[in-house]
Structure 1
Amino acid sequence: MPKIACSVYIVTLNCEAWLFKTLQSVQDFDEVIILDSGSTDATYAIAQQFDNVHIEHQDWQGYAGQKSLALAKCRNDWVLNLDGDEVLSEGLKQEIAEVIQHNQLDALITPINDVFLGVPNSKHTKKHAKVRFFRKAKGYYDLANKVHENVMVEGESRRAVHDIYHFGESSIFVKVEKNNQYSNLKAAEKFQKGKSPS
């Protein structure tokens, strides 16, 4: 069966807990590019189990910078971004294949289903959504945005029906630590832009 003509790019740091499932969900894609910023766990060993995966080291450049560098290494016209603790749903994989085949859209805005303490969002939960799949020539990162880096797309997009599953928030401790990290980065970003508190 031919591979899906799309490059997947992932940035990692010690992602062994979920990386096998992540890579398994995209093993039908033409290539997977992983930029790793210094893992000391089994991240490299897991990546090397998949014949469509290329992993290399890159010192951390910030979220937008790191993803921008990974994006630049992709060889296909279409690209998909995942984190090392995210799994592509079978339904979204089919949507992606159809968009590539019809070649009319430039991006899909994808719902992120946060699996918290092992429980996915209810179908009634309002999920946040981001551009994760797009035509490479039409998308880029704003490198001034240090937190919640988003792909900027110059073209036509629509919301995807199916989800990416996010498994990383496996405990309340992890959730609080991540919120603290993001709030520190956002404060630094606003300070650099000359903004002050009210």
Structure 2
Amino acid sequence: MTATYALDLAAVFVFALSGALVASRQQLDPVGFGFVACLTAVGGGTVRDVLLDRNPVFWIADPIYILAALLAAALVFLIAPQLESRYSAIRWLDAVALSTAVVAGISAAHEAGQSPMIVTIMGMITGCFGGLMRDVVCNDVPLVLRHGELYVTAALAGSITSALLALIIPDPLIYLSAGAAATFVVRGGSLLFGWKLPNYRHRPPRQ
């Protein structure tokens, strides 16, 4: 089992959990749960594989990813009523999934022999696009665009950390773990302490 395979599988399962929790807030039926969970789970990795020209796309080559996403959807369908705060659970599950997916994208780009810049971009795409698709389909304001949510910033921090560290210490266990940790710390800080970047404020031109 390669690092990319293991990371992709972990990211798929956790992202599917977050997608299914969103489906529970929308009060969807079991098919809706499965659809949203799968879209969230494989969306970012699909975009990554298309851009990296990996053929076939990871979940087509191995349908176990879809089965894992459907298992997560079924699990949430059964236990969602027992969750006291679904939104809080969604955000923390999403933080874990983001951290895992970012390094899955980084690992795939490294295996493809890409430059540090492309490695960084692939980490961000893998981490962010599944959640973006989920929120758009469910008619929510995407987490990646909400003011005060360090989401893309967290993915960028983790991707840069991993890409740069790989140049110094070419040990996948070290640079992937560091990337996941950096992503989770920034995202977790945003959730716990309200960390945020300053937003643009329009200033009328002087007369």
Q: Using structure 2 for the length normalisation, give the TM-score.
A: 0.31
Higher strand share: 1
Q: Using structure 1 for the length normalisation, give the TM-score.
A: 0.31
Higher helix share: 2
